[in-house]
Amino acid sequence: MSAGKAVISRRKFLIMSAAGLLVACSRSDDQATTGLAEESVAAPAWLPKLIGDQAAAARIGNAYLDLHPGHRSIDTLTTDIERSLVNYDATAVDLRDADRVASVLQRLVRHDYTVADVTSVDGWVLSTTEARIYALTALAL
């Protein structure tokens, strides 16, 4: 371990991320819409339902945006994420249903890992969809 730098295992990071998603999904609608939705009207309604720790997600998102400066737009990222979502599950997704979108996005993230649709961000291997969700969080804060 290097001095002054916290090291976290990939397994612990994934467990913590999954726990954050579970917490976010288990909150009531009133609780889930606080935070991101209030801070940025341009962020999609499904975003706060996916993010447990906004600050951690934003740190990873900013690292992704440093690598992909062309994605520094809420509209661009939202369009890319929703396009991937519809391509993954076109018959089951109504983009106006934030709960349903969040649920399908969680499955899409798992699917990305299965088909190796991943990207490296600051030493972490993340689902491309997951990295874009984190980048969207960074822009929405």
Q: What is the pLDDT along the chain (141 residues), one digit of tens a residue?
A: 444 444 555 555 555 554 444 434 433 344 443 344 333 446 898 998 899 899 999 999 999 999 999 999 999 999 999 999 999 988 777 888 899 999 999 999 999 999 999 999 999 999 999 999 999 999 998
Based on the structure, what is the number of domains in the chain? 1
Instruction: Look up tokens 């889930």; give the residue.
Output: 32
3-class SS shares of the chain: helix, strand, coil, % to 5: 65, 5, 30
Which pair of tokens denotes residue 45?
């309604």
Amino acid at the residue 79: T
Domain hosting 52: range is 10-140
* Burial of 89 per CB tally in 10 Å (0-12, 13-18, 19+): middle
**Does residue 47 sit within a domain?**
yes
